Amino acid sequence: MKRAKQLSFTIAATCCFALALSACGGNDGKEKLGDAAPSEILVAYFSCTGNTERAAEYVADATGGTLYEIVPEQPYTADDLDYRADCRANVEQNDETARPAIGGTSANMADYRVVFLGYPIWWSEAPKIMYTFLESYDFSGKTIVPFCTSGSSGIGSSAENMHGSASGATWLTGKRFSSSVSKADVEDWIDSLTAE
């Protein structure tokens, strides 16, 4: 399909799935995206070692959406990410209240109806900076489509655990990619979301 041109999102269908989701506490991954124009799609991502960034670039290519990098105010060094030690990332992940500050420019969130949300898996969860991001904007009426990369873990409940930080949004089922994510993997996923 001609993804960037023909991405047709059906928000009404998405809302039905949201109702089903709230009724049964889960969904079956069969949601379809509707008629948002490429200019209404944001691809927001956080990435320390480039894997999620690559996936996000493929999502942006496939959808025509705009890339937005969630940049930490204090960059993560290699030591910060050394999860075999008592590193900064581990400390944050073990702290329910941790909300690492975001630097850089803000996203013009009002311009977007659909937000793809990319993150690496850290100890089976989304990094706490994703919570900072979600709690920084009003996502009411928007559709959030989570995706992540990891060494081996699945997406698990990492996306569901963020729902409370953007409760006005409709969340679609998330997708996990391997650290060596390929463009074809991402294109197949986008096709599955947009197929009639």
Ligand X SMILES: Cc1cc2nc3c(=O)[nH]c(=O)nc-3n(C[C@H](O)[C@H](O)[C@H](O)COP(=O)(O)O)c2cc1C
Q: 108: buried, middle or exposed (CB in 10 Å: 19+, 13-18, 0-12)?
A: exposed
CA distance 165 to 137: 10
Nearer to ligand X, 123 or 160 (CB): 123
Nearer to ligand X, 54 or 142 (CB): 54
Q: Give the helix/strand (H/E) hosting 63.
A: helix 51-63
Find the distance separating the first CA and the last CA of the chain, reported in whole Å.
11
> Residues 99, 123, 136, 160: which binds ligand X (CB under 6 A)?
123
Q: Residue 97 has which token pair?
A: 């209240």
Q: Residue 99 has which token pair?
A: 């909300």
| Contact letters for ligand X, residues 72-111 (x by CB under 6 A) | ---------x-x-----xx---------------------
Assess 158 for contact with ligand X (CB under 6 A). Answer: no
Nearer to ligand X, 51 or 194 (CB): 51
Nearer to ligand X, 140 or 180 (CB): 180
> Residues 8, 10, 27, 153: which binds ligand X (CB under 6 A)?
153
Assess 49 for contact with ligand X (CB under 6 A). Answer: yes
The closest alpha carbon to 43, from 191, 195, 192, 190, belongs to: 190
Whether the Cβ atoms of residue 137 and residue 165 lie closer than 8 Å to each other: no
- Binding residues for ligand X, rule: CB under 6 A, are 47-53, 81, 83, 89-90, 120-124, 149-153, 179
